[in-house]
């Protein structure tokens, strides 16, 4: 994966371009650029596939096209074989070259053949026309801004804010063309809201379990296709535990990383699972008092997020990926997306089936600017490529075809996933109820102390040029009784928290943070080496 940056047009300025590309330095290990008349292109490349020869920007053999590419295409071996049979001759073993060769052969239809997590730009060097693509779920980012005589494209908002111009986003599942003197003309090539439409509902539990198991196992298999050490962000919950189980089975070199306060449930479950599997386990122990304003400010700078709750999750995520970088791990699996697909949120079960489906689709469509943005920015800020197996498009489509009563049954969320892997999941994981990372880690309420400052910090980095910070949609939805239309209207009418709401929130957070202090004053001191017992 990489950070990519392009300035296209007669007014492209090499000095400005260098500064913008420099902003993306944490996303990779080496800087690679190409300067031509009216075209400045560069990457900050994280060397994962064909590390020595996959140099970017990649230029086609006939020198007509130039590619800047961020991400991974997991079916590049199959595409390479197909293109070789069609007469293409390859110069490297990289998926980068495969992507450009596939575009040369199939043109815009290339998007129907790619399986992966990617964003890329192909430029016709003679004309400066640029073809822009972003993956269906928006796992990988791509933004643009215009100044007179120049179109700028970048992997992160922070690379573009120095221009002082409004920033636009290439939406997930969109592609299209752009010229230096106009806005990108983009259209969808995947309609997330229509995935699975016209295909039969999978209502039989046995069939559904077999299909879920096959789809997730295959998704994990292709994401474990690397000769590098693979990390797993392990919360000790269902999703990350499944990722670790497969990594331990399918890859010879993996490590689990967990963050939390010493006595948190996360650490107890994660430690037990890693020990049972014989997997190396790195624990980032943090106490609430370890999170300070500087940490919150840095999380906002890194993440560019626009909802308060996501920023709090970013504060907790940053130490995980910092530790992974210290370990030299460049590829990691996460469990993100499972809750959205398989009914891991209470709101899905508090309304009827039709309303539940609408909520489900809303969550999926907005993952790109919430969970997936957090994962991309906090991982790539430390040169770590995070892969999200639960969001493979085939698995998303399957989830669209499962009725809600297979996702929640007998009061247990993600029931079908638990059933699909019942024979390999330890009971203490399979029966563990959902506990969101930021809460169960014991760090959420500490970060919430600084919540009233989030919007001001966000503006200080210029991120409002894309969009400002707004209220947490989940909390708005809850107050609206899980009525999606009412929540959307309420969010538009009053996008940010009021001073009074911030004050109430601050009082609650201050009270929570004071409790451990009082407990320490009245309780005997525990020995540092004492382990918290495993819950349940």
427 among annotated binding-site residues: no
Lay out the sheet containing 331-333: strands in order across: 280-285, 254-260, 230-233, 331-333, 385-387
Alpha carbons 347 and 336: distance in angstroms, whole number: 18
Alpha carbons 423 and 420: distance in angstroms, whole number: 8
Cβ atoms of 115 and 126 within 8 Å: the answer is no
Alpha carbons 139 and 336: distance in angstroms, whole number: 11
Pairing of strands 230-233, 174-178: unpaired
Alpha carbons 48 and 457: distance in angstroms, whole number: 34
Neighbours of 504 (CB within 10 A): 12
* Region of residue 173 (left: phi > 0; alpha: psi -120 to 50; beta: else): left
Task: Name the CA radius of gyration of the chain, rounded.
Answer: 23
The catalytic residues are: 2
Torsion angles phi and psi, residue 360, rounded to 5:
-60, -45
259 among annotated binding-site residues: yes
Alpha carbons 71 and 203: distance in angstroms, whole number: 35
Alpha carbons 292 and 315: distance in angstroms, whole number: 10
For residue 331, the SS3 value is strand
**Residues sharing a CB contact under 8 Å with residue 220, sequence separation 6 or more, in sequence order:** 242, 243, 246, 247, 250, 333, 389
Alpha carbons 100 and 66: distance in angstroms, whole number: 8
Alpha carbons 438 and 441: distance in angstroms, whole number: 5
Pairing of strands 254-260, 230-233: parallel
Annotated binding site: 95, 259
Annotated binding site for L-glutamine: 95
Annotated binding site for ATP: 259
């Amino acid at each position: 994966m990489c950070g990519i940056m392009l300035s296209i047009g007669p007014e492209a300025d090499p000095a400005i371009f260098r500064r913008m590309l420099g902003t993306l330095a944490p996303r990779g290990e080496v800087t690679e650029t190409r300067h031509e008349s009216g075209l400045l292109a560069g990457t900050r490349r994280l060397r994962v596939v064909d590390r020595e020869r996959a140099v970017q920007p990649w230029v086609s053999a006939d020198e007509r096209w130039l590619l800047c590419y961020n991400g991974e295409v997991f079916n590049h071996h199959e595409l390479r074989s197909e293109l070789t049979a069609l007469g293409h001759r390859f110069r490297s073993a990289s998926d980068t070259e495969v992507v450009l060769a596939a575009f040369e052969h199939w043109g815009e239809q290339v998007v129907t053949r790619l399986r992966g997590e990617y964003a890329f730009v192909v430029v016709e060097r003679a004309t400066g026309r640029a073809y822009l693509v972003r993956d269906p779920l928006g796992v990988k980012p791509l933004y643009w801004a215009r100044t007179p005589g120049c179109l700028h494209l970048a992997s992160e908002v922070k690379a573009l804010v120095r221009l002082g111009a409004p920033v636009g986003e290439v939406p997930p599942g969109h592609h299209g063309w752009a010229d230096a003197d106009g806005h990108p003309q983009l259209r969808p090539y995947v309609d997330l809201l229509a995935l699975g439409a016209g295909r039969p509902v999978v209502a039989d539990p046995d069939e559904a379990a077999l299909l879920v198991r096959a789809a997730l196992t295959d998704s994990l298999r292709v994401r474990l296709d690397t000769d590098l050490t693979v990390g797993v962000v392990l919360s000790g919950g269902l999703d990350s535990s499944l990722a670790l189980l497969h990594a331990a089975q399918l890859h010879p070199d993996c490590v689990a990383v967990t963050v939390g306060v010493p006595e948190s449930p996360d650490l107890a479950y994660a430690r037990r699972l890693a020990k049972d599997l014989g997997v190396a386990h790195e624990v980032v122990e943090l106490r609430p008092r370890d999170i300070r304003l500087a940490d919150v400010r840095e999380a906002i700078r890194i993440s560019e997020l626009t909802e308060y709750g996501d920023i709090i999750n970013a504060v907790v995520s940053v130490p995980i990926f910092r530790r992974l970088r210290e370990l030299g791990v460049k590829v990691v699996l996460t469990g993100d997306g499972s809750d959205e697909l398989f009914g891991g949120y209470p709101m899905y079960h508090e309304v009827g089936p039709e309303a539940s489906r609408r909520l489900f689709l809303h969550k999926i469509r907005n993952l790109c600017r919430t969970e997936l943005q957090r994962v991309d920015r906090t991982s790539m800020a430390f040169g770590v490529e995070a892969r999200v197996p639960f969001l493979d498009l085939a698995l998303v489509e399957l989830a669209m075809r499962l009725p809600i009563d297979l996702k929640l049954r007998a009061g247990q969320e993600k029931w079908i996933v638990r059933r699909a892997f019942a024979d390999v999941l330890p009971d203490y994981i399979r029966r563990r109820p959902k506990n969101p990372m930021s809460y169960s880690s014991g760090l959420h309420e500490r970060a919430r102390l600084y919540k009233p400052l989030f919007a001001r910090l966000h503006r200080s980095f210029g991120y409002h040029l894309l969009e400002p910070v707004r209220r947490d949609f989940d909390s708005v939805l809850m107050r609206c009784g899980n009525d999606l239309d009412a929540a959307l209207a309420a969010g538009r009418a009053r996008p940010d928290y009021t001073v009074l709401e911030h004050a109430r929130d601050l009082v609650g957070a201050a009270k929570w943070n004071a409790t451990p202090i009082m407990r320490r004053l009245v309780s005997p001191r525990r020995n540092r080496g004492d382990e918290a017992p495993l819950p349940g």
